[in-house]
Amino acid sequence: MSKVQILDDLADSVINGDAEKAAGTSRKALRTGVDPFKAISEGLMKGMAKVGEDFSKLKVYLPEVMMAAEAMNAALAILEPAALKKGGKSVKKGKVVIGTIYGDIHDIGKNIVAMLLRANGFEVHDLGREVPVDALINKAEETKSDIIAASTLLSTSMPYMEDLLALLKEKGVRKKYIVMVGGGPVTREWAAQIGADGYGDDGDEAVKAAQELLRKVKAR
């Protein structure tokens, strides 16, 4: 089997949510000399990108996304240690603290975003729902995170997102973090108005925004 075929099989295993195939193909990749970083970026990530795209277009639904994430994690459990043994750094793209903002108990959308971020290589610290703004900041400081992400499904909780940005400025740490907001009543225009760095209309867009914003920060 060619190395190109192995990469394609890795992508397919994620798309099809086949954790057993993902793990088996990962072992085969290492046996045949496929670079583990390449297996992750050109195999697994390629497959997860397709799942995210299909999810945003309603071609697949949450159960399929969850199965894809499980397949991704099964493969990463094999490939990431191999990558680290080669002397490389962790393949984690960045660290995210995420939570449903204070005053809101809805968390399905937030959970989907957190899951997709993990599946796409981010280290995610999910604080759950009704999270006070100072708790988001404290966790970001504790974990040395790159991104603070807040979600809400209630317009009555949107002002707490403004409070999050205000408190970051008050503490003098606003420039340390990429701040992303999202949820049912949140719009791109409102996110820009309050000074947030990013916005996601759905899980796929949120992941793409996080990737692009982090890429820009690291390129400075």
Question: Residue by residue, what is the 3-state secondary structure of 160-195?
Answer: HHHHHHHHHHHCCCHHHCEEEEECCCCCHHHHHHHC
What's the CATH class of domain 3-85?
A: mainly alpha
Quick check: helix, strand or coil at residue 92? coil
Q: Match domain 94-219 to its CATH number in 3.40.50.880, 3.40.50.720, 1.10.10.1100, 3.40.50.280.
A: 3.40.50.280
Instruction: Quote the pTM value.
Output: 0.73
Closest by Cα among 45, 34, 36 to 11: 45
In one letter, which amino acid is 120? N
**By CB neighbour count within 10 A (0-12 exposed, 13-18 middle, 19+ buried), where does 218 fall?**
exposed
Enter the tokens of residue 216.
Answer: 């820009």
Task: Enumerate the CATH 3.40.50.280 domain ranges in the chain, comma separated.
Answer: 94-219
In one letter, which amino acid is 157? S
pLDDT in tens, 152-177: 999 999 999 999 999 999 999 999 99
**pLDDT band per the 50, 70, 90 thresholds, residue 200:** confident
pLDDT in tens, 82-124: 877 775 555 667 999 999 999 999 887 888 888 888 877 899 9
Quick check: helix, strand or coil at residue 36? helix
The reported pLDDT for the residue numbered 156 is 94
Task: Enumerate the CATH 1.10.1240.10 domain ranges in the chain, comma separated.
Answer: 3-85
